[in-house]
Amino acid sequence: MSEANRNTLLIVDDEKSNLRTLTHILSPEYTIYTAKSGADAVEKAKEYLPDLILLDIIMPEMDGYEVLATLKSLPETREIPVIFITGLGSREDEEKGLSFDAADYISKPFGASIVKLRVRHQIQIVNQIHTIERLSMTDQLTGIPNRRALDVRLDMEWHRAIREKTSLGILMMDVDKFKIYNDTYGHQQGDVALQAVAKILEQSLGRRSDFAARWGGEEFAVLLPNTEAEGALDVAEHIRADIEKAEIPCADGSITKVTISIGVNTQIPTQDSLIEFFISGADEALYIAKKTGRNKVVHALDAAEDGADG
């Protein structure tokens, strides 16, 4: 299996020897991240979003129970399964660990075969869940994430932006005069055009954190974490230009073209902010873009000023 396709593990233990042992046992099959404290574990879990966490219970300052409680309280990490690792051997200790919603429990000293089997079991469950989620969150026509996937990702990035006090950007876009395109070339060719737009969206995004989805029909959306207005407008203009110059082939060998209008909104959300208003701001900007000529990019702030002038 290539490094890019490997499942990822975060191993958390304040003892270097334990980290070395577990890394030696598991690194042939998995990509390994390590943390030596509870606080470091939480930060690395948020950064790397591993498939599974192996978490020592007895650690100074922030023990495993506190770490797990923190992970379960965060939208982006709450679904990551955790295996407790500990030298505590009583049935009461094991029951306490499982009562904290740990997925499993591994006792020290480590037996390589037991560690591999228990990790493999959890990873199999994770991969099955990911497969189901991927199928339910993928648009079948274009192969990119669907609206449900965008809702999940937006909720996660919204809460992250609140915590970190960073700006979040969203692009709402609509293929111009798509009904006319369908009526002219047929619905099958319309599907080809939507697939072409989706491919260009994915190719136009420069960061792994950027997220493109099909909103529905001929509408698409792009989520831009940690992006202020200028950066969001740059990305939107890049997408608009790439779609304008793209040549979309027809079955008879002829070439067609489409353009796209884009509404942009950016915000540093707070606890009092509403996601619905954030999206509607981009929708309003998209409406202005289409109303004032199509094939253009409009920011929500400019849309508001245009509405006030009107």
Q: What is the pLDDT at residue 306?
A: 60
Q: What is the pLDDT at residue 88?
A: 63
* Range 97-104, long-range pairs (CB < 8 A, 24+ positions): 97/57, 97/64, 100/65, 100/68, 100/69, 101/68, 101/72, 102/55, 102/68, 103/52
Cβ count near 298 (within 10 Å): 24
Residue pair 211/144 in contact (Cβ under 8 Å)? The answer is no
Alpha carbons 98 and 118: distance in angstroms, whole number: 14
Between the alpha carbon of residue 176 and those of residues 123, 180, 226, 292, the distances in Å are 44, 9, 29, 12
User: What are 247-268's pLDDT values in tens digits?
Assistant: 999 999 999 999 999 999 999 9
Cβ count near 157 (within 10 Å): 23
Who contacts 263 (Cβ-Cβ below 8 Å, separation ≥6)?
171, 172, 173, 281, 282, 283, 284, 285, 286, 287, 288, 289, 298, 300, 303
Q: What is the pLDDT at residue 86?
A: 80
Who contacts 151 (Cβ-Cβ below 8 Å, separation ≥6)?
none
Q: What would the two tokens of residue 285 be?
A: 């900007």
Point out the residues of the chain with pLDDT beneath 50.
Answer: 308, 310
Q: What is the pLDDT at residue 4?
A: 63
Q: What are phi and psi of 305, to 5 degrees?
A: -65, -40
Q: What is the pLDDT at residue 171?
A: 98
Q: What is the pLDDT at residue 298?
A: 96
Q: What is the pLDDT at residue 308?
A: 47
DSSP 110: P
Q: What would the two tokens of residue 304 be?
A: 């508001």
Helix (H, G, I), strand (E, B), or coil: what is residue 189? helix
Catalytic residue numbers read 218
Side by side, which strands form the sheet with 104-107? Answer: 31-35, 8-12, 52-56, 82-86, 104-107
Alpha carbons 294 and 307: distance in angstroms, whole number: 17
Helix H segments across 186-299?
A: 187-204, 229-245, 275-291
CA nearest neighbour of 150 among 270, 43, 282: 282
Q: Position 182: which residue type? A: N
Q: Which domains does the chain possess?
A: 3-136 (3.40.50.2300), 147-309 (3.30.70.270)
Q: At what angle do helices 64-73 and 38-48 cross, to 10 degrees?
A: 30
DSSP 118: H
Q: What is the pLDDT at residue 103?
A: 87
